Amino acid sequence: MSVKQISVFLENKPGALLGMTRVLAEQNIDMRAFSLAETSDFGIARIIVNDVAKTTAVLQEAGFVHNVTPVIAVAVSNTPGGLNRALTALSEASVNVEYMYAFVGGREESAYMIFRVADNEKAAAALHAAGIRLAEQEEIATL
């Protein structure tokens, strides 16, 4: 029902992000989605990858502070109104979205929305009831 997102602490200075992308590239890790939040002195890179266990091991080894959070991945049709339907369902169920980001998947019908919410089960139920398909970890990994 949920997908694992890895968040990585980065200093907001030249080369910090490169330091992370370099170790991931060297270990052949494929990022499915990527989002960056930042303040003036630090940032958090949030990534969805093909291989979570390998990525956390690589980050650990390279000394990056990181954690793994379950997030909701919604498969929406890549057409106008797709995001709106998903947000309507969450709003009606009073689920607050802490942050979100989107990426276009490999399948012809799908864009994916990543939602970080406080209550994944409640969000999943609301989306399910509205007939919106949730993507599983395997689907993201094999895109």
Partner 1 sequence: MERYYQPEIETASREQITAWQSERLVRQVRHVWDNVPCYRKKMEEKGITPDDIHGVEDLHKLPFVTKADLRDQYPYGLLAVPLNDCVRIHSTSGTTGKRVVAYYTQEDVDLWEDCCARALTAAGATEEDVCQVAYGYGLFTGGAGLHGGSHKVGCLTLPMSSGNTERQIMFMRDLKSTILCCTPSYAAYLGETMKEMGLTPDEIPLKAGIFGAEAWSEEMRRDIEKTLGIKAYDIYGLTELSGPGVAFECSAQNGMHINEDHFIAEIIDPETGEPLPDGEQGELVFTSLTKKAFPLLRYRTRDVCVLNRGKCSCGRTHVRMAKPRGRTDDMLIIRGVNVFPSQIETVLINLGYGANYQIIVDRVNHTDTLDVHVEMTPEMFTDNMGEIAARQKKIVEGLRSMLGLAAKVTLVAPKSIVRSEGKAVRVIDNRKI
Which residues, listed in sequence order, are joined to residue 125 by a DSSP beta bridge?
none
57 scored as a contact of partner 1 (CB under 8 A)? no
CB of 41 to partner 1, least distance (A): 5
Told to check if 15 binds partner 1 by CB under 8 A, we report no
Count of residues of this chain found to bind partner 1 when the rule CB under 8 A is applied: 21
Contacts 24+ apart (CB under 8 A), 88-92: 88/130, 89/126, 89/127, 89/129, 89/130, 89/132, 90/115, 90/117, 90/123, 90/126, 90/127, 92/126
In the bound state with partner 1, the residue whose beta carbon lies nearer, of 35 and 110, is 35
- Positions touching partner 1 (CB under 8 A) are 5, 7, 9-11, 16, 37, 39, 41-42, 44, 46, 63-67, 69, 98-99, 116
